Amino acid sequence: MTIDMMIKLVMVATFVLGFVLPFGYFFSGKQTKTRYKKSFYSNLIAVIAGIAIATIIAYNPGIVEAAETSGAAETGLATGLGYIAAALSTGLSCVGGGIAVASAASAALGAISEDGSIFGRSLIFVGLAEGVALYGLIISFMILGQL
pLDDT digits (tens, 9 = 90+) for 44-79: 887 787 777 777 776 775 655 565 555 545 567 788
Same structural domain, 57 and 13: yes
At residue 80, the pLDDT reads 82
Please tell me the distance from the alpha carbon of residue 87 to that of residue 101, in angstroms, as a whole number.
Answer: 21
CATH code (residue 102)? 1.20.20.10
The 3-class SS string of 79-115 reads HHHHHHHHHHHHHHHHHHHHHHHHHHHHHHHHHHHHC
Helix 61-69 vs helix 3-15: crossing angle, to nearest 10: 130
Give the pLDDT mean for 112-129: 87
Same structural domain, 68 and 80: no
Same structural domain, 50 and 115: no
Task: Tally the domains of the chain.
Answer: 2
Residues 6+ apart with CB under 8 A from 13: 50
* Residues of the domain holding 52: 1-74
**For the chain, what is the mean pLDDT?**
79
Q: Are 26 and 39 in contact (CB under 8 A)?
A: yes
At residue 10, the pLDDT reads 74
Q: Name the residue among 126, 124, 90, 132 with its Cα closest to residue 106.
A: 126
Please tell me the distance from the alpha carbon of residue 58 to that of residue 45, in angstroms, as a whole number.
Answer: 20
Regarding pTM above 0.85, the answer is: no
